[in-house]
Amino acid sequence: MQFTGLMDTLPETVPFVGPEALERTRGRLFKARIGANENVFGPSPKAIEAMQKTVSEGWQYGDPENHNLRHAIADFYHIKPSNVMVGEGIDGLLGYLVRMVIEPGKKVVTSLGAYPTFNYHVVGYGGDLITVPYVNDREDPQSLVEMAHKVKPTLVYLANPDNPMGTWSSGQEIAAMLDELPKETLLVLDEAYIEFAPSEAVLTLNVDDPRVVRFRTFSKAYGMAGMRVGYALGEERVISAFNRVRNHFGMCRVSQAGALTSLNDQENLIQVVKMVGDARDRIADIATTNGLHSLPSGANFVAIDAGRDGDFARILLSELVNRDIFVRMPFAVPQDRCIRISAGTKTDLDYLEEVFPRALETSNHIYSEKN
Nearer to a copy of itself, 116 or 277 (CB): 116
**Cα torsion 148, 10, 242, 199: sign:** negative
Nearer to a copy of itself, 53 or 150 (CB): 53
192-218 burial, b if ≥16 CB within 10 A, otherwise e? bbbbbbeeebbbeeebebebbbbbbbb
In angstroms, the Cα distances linking 105 to 179, 182, 340 are 25, 17, 35
Backbone phi and psi for residue 198, each to the nearest 5 degrees, phi listed first = -65, 150
Tell me if 103 contacts a copy of itself by CB under 8 A: yes
255 binds a copy of itself per the rule CB under 8 A: yes
What's the min distance (Å) between Cβ of 233 and a copy of itself?
A: 15
Nearest to 367 by CA among 324, 319, 311, 326: 311
Q: Which of 49, 48, 32 is nearest to 40 (CA)?
A: 32
How many whole angstroms separate alpha carbon 111 and alpha carbon 82?
A: 31
Q: Residue 171 in 3-state DSSP?
A: helix
Looking at the Cβ atoms of 20 and 285, the one nearer to a copy of itself is 20
Closer to a copy of itself by Cβ: residue 123 or 359:
123
Selected from 43, 113, 166, 330, the binder of a copy of itself by CB under 8 A is 43
Strands (E), 19-88: 32-33, 84-87
Stretch that binds a copy of itself, among 47-55, 144-152, 278-286, 305-313 (CB under 8 A): 47-55
Stretch touching a copy of itself by CB under 8 A, among 100-108, 129-137, 291-299, 312-320: 100-108
**What is the C-alpha to C-alpha distance for residues 265 and 224, in angstroms, rounded to an integer?**
13
Show the binding pattern over residues 117-156: x = contacts a copy of itself (CB under 8 A), - = does not: x------x-----------------------------xx-
DSSP 103-143: -TT-EEEEETTS-HHHHHHHHHTTPEEEEE--BTTB--HHH
Q: Is 42 in the site for a copy of itself (CB under 8 A)?
A: yes
Among 149, 152, 248, 308, binds a copy of itself (CB under 8 A): 248
The CA distance from 125 to 32, in Å, is 36
The least CB distance from residue 205 to a copy of itself, in Å, is: 19
Q: Which of 108, 165, 201, 238 binds a copy of itself (CB under 8 A)?
A: 238
Distance of CA 279 to CAs 275, 318, 331, 341, Å? 6, 22, 24, 10
For 130, phi then psi, to 5°, come to -120, 125
- For position 247 contacting a copy of itself by CB under 8 A, the verdict is yes
Contact between 73 and a copy of itself per CB under 8 A:
no
Phi, psi of 334 (to 5 degrees): -95, 10
Q: Total binding residues for a copy of itself by CB under 8 A?
A: 84
- Residue 221 CB, shortest distance to a copy of itself, in Å, is 11
Q: Does 64 bind a copy of itself (CB under 8 A)?
A: yes
Binding mask 171-190 for a copy of itself (x = CB under 8 A): -------------xxx----
**Interacting residue with a copy of itself among 73, 84, 95, 164 (CB under 8 A):** 95
Phi-psi group of 73: left, alpha or beta (phi > 0 → left; psi -120 to 50 → alpha; rest → beta): alpha
161 binds a copy of itself (CB under 8 A): no
Considering only residues 208 through 237, tell me which ones interact with a copy of itself, judged by CB under 8 A.
Answer: 210, 219, 223-228
Per rule CB under 8 A, is residue 39 in the interface with a copy of itself?
yes
Q: Kindly tell me which residue out of 28, 29, 61, 198 binds a copy of itself, with binding defined by CB under 8 A.
A: 61
In three-state secondary structure terms, 337 is helix
Q: Rounded to the nearest whole angstrom, what is the least distance from the CB of residue 352 to a copy of itself in the complex?
A: 18
Instruction: List binders of a copy of itself among 2-21 (CB under 8 A).
Output: 2-7, 10-18, 20-21
Question: Is there a cis peptide before residue 141, judged by omega within 30 degrees of 0?
Answer: no
Minimum CB distance to a copy of itself, residue 344 (Å)? 12
